[in-house]
């Protein structure tokens, strides 16, 4: 059984046993394992919280552990391990994943951006925008060698304009100094 809440708990006990609480990154959300219990078993949860409305924002849920472990096992078999390729001006990620008739798209927890390009088995594919802004890559059936490259959109143009600006500034400065020397 698990609990979640949008507040900071200072202590939590289940049937008199203290539960170790680990705060999350934002310091507010909390997911804590309360223990393993049998269906229909009554438990008592007590907690102290910083805010009095914590009791109204707390949710307690159960998790079918067997189904969850099976899902985790399936996901681990289909995972993509990416390796970063060192480069000065672009980010490149390379990895392998297996596609099937039921698994024809690779979902990545990488934000979608127009600067990403992708190849699958050496052929360029278009990254898809999924789930409010994350990235998906179409897969072929069987083994897929994935290569993702990111370059800042407009980065080359911006770099060129900056370089040209430095040259122009240097020319203007040189001209100004040469005219100043002639006058003095």
User: What string of pLDDT tens digits covers the 184 residues of the chain?
Assistant: 555 555 566 677 889 888 876 655 555 556 677 888 888 889 888 877 776 666 676 777 777 778 888 888 877 776 777 777 776 667 788 888 888 888 888 888 889 999 999 999 999 999 999 988 899 999 999 999 999 998 888 878 888 999 999 999 999 999 999 988 888 7
> What is this structure's pTM?
0.52
Cβ-contact 5, 59 below 8 angstroms: yes
Question: How many whole angstroms separate alpha carbon 113 and alpha carbon 110?
Answer: 9
Question: How many whole angstroms separate alpha carbon 63 and alpha carbon 169?
Answer: 65
Q: From 3.90.25, 1.10.10, 1.10.760, 2.60.40, which CATH number describes the 75-150 domain?
A: 2.60.40
């Amino acid at each position: 059984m698990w609990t979640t809440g949008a507040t900071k708990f200072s202590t939590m006990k289940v049937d008199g046993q203290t539960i170790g609480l680990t705060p999350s990154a934002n310091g507010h959300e909390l997911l804590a394992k309360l223990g393993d219990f049998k269906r229909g078993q009554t438990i008592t949860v007590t907690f102290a919280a910083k805010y009095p409305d914590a009791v109204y924002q707390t949710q307690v849920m159960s998790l079918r552990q067997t189904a969850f472990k099976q899902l985790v096992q399936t996901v681990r078999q289909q995972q993509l391990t990416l390796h970063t390729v060192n480069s000065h001006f672009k980010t490149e990620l390379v990895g392998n994943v297996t596609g099937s008739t039921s698994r024809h798209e690779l979902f990545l927890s990488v934000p979608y951006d127009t600067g990403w390009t992708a190849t699958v088995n050496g052929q360029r594919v278009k990254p898809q925008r999924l789930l409010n802004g994350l990235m998906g890559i179409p897969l072929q059936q069987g083994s897929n060698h994935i290569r993702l490259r990111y370059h800042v959109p407009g980065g080359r143009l911006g770099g060129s304009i900056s370089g040209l600006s430095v040259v122009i500034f240097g020319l203007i400065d040189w001209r100004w100094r040469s005219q100043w020397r002639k006058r003095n």
